[in-house]
Each structure stands twice: as C-alpha cells, then as structure tokens.
Amino acid sequence: MAWIQSAGKDPYKLGVLEYNEKRRSAKLSATYSDDAFTLIITVEADPGVSAPLGARVLDVKVRAPN
C-alpha cells in the first residue's frame, strides 16, 4: 500500500501497488499536488485499511526540484 504524508498531516492512502512477485517489482500511477511529502510503502493484510498499520518497507522524504 502506498501512502503520502505532508508536514503536519495524517498519512493519506495513495493507492495499492501492483506487485509482480516474479520480477520483485511494483508499480503505481498517481498524482499529488504538494511539492514536499513523505512517501510510505507498507505491507497490509487488508487493502481497505484507512491508515498505515502494517510493516513499513519504505519511508522516504520527497521534494520537487526548484
């Protein structure tokens, strides 16, 4: 599951990653309007969760170029 978190806000569900187990890769197409945020990828048992509850496998800060 992919989540976006902007400064001072709760994480927002961006979407479910399409995972290819054979290639060990995933993809997601999405847009987001803030120029700085944290991208969080979690492993969730239920894709209907409304908050990141599972193990975090990626947690990275992203900033758009100036």
Would you state the pLDDT for residue 46? 93
First CA to last CA distance, the chain = 28
Count: domains in the chain: 1
Would you state the pLDDT for residue 66? 79
Please give the model's pTM, rounded to 2 decimal places.
Answer: 0.86
* DSSP bridge pairs for 1: none
The answer to whether 38 touches 61, Cβ cutoff 8 Å, is yes
Domain that holds residue 30: 2-63
pLDDT (tens digit per residue) in 7-61: 999 999 999 999 899 999 999 999 888 999 999 999 999 989 999 999 999 999 9
**Rounded to an integer, what is the distance from CA 42 to the centroid of its chain?**
7
Q: Which residue has the higher pLDDT, 42 or 66?
A: 42
Q: How many residues does the chain have?
A: 66
Question: What is the 8-class DSSP label of residue 13?
Answer: E
Output 28-33 pairs: Cβ under 8 A, ≥24 positions apart. 28/2, 30/2, 32/4
Would you state the pLDDT for residue 21? 92
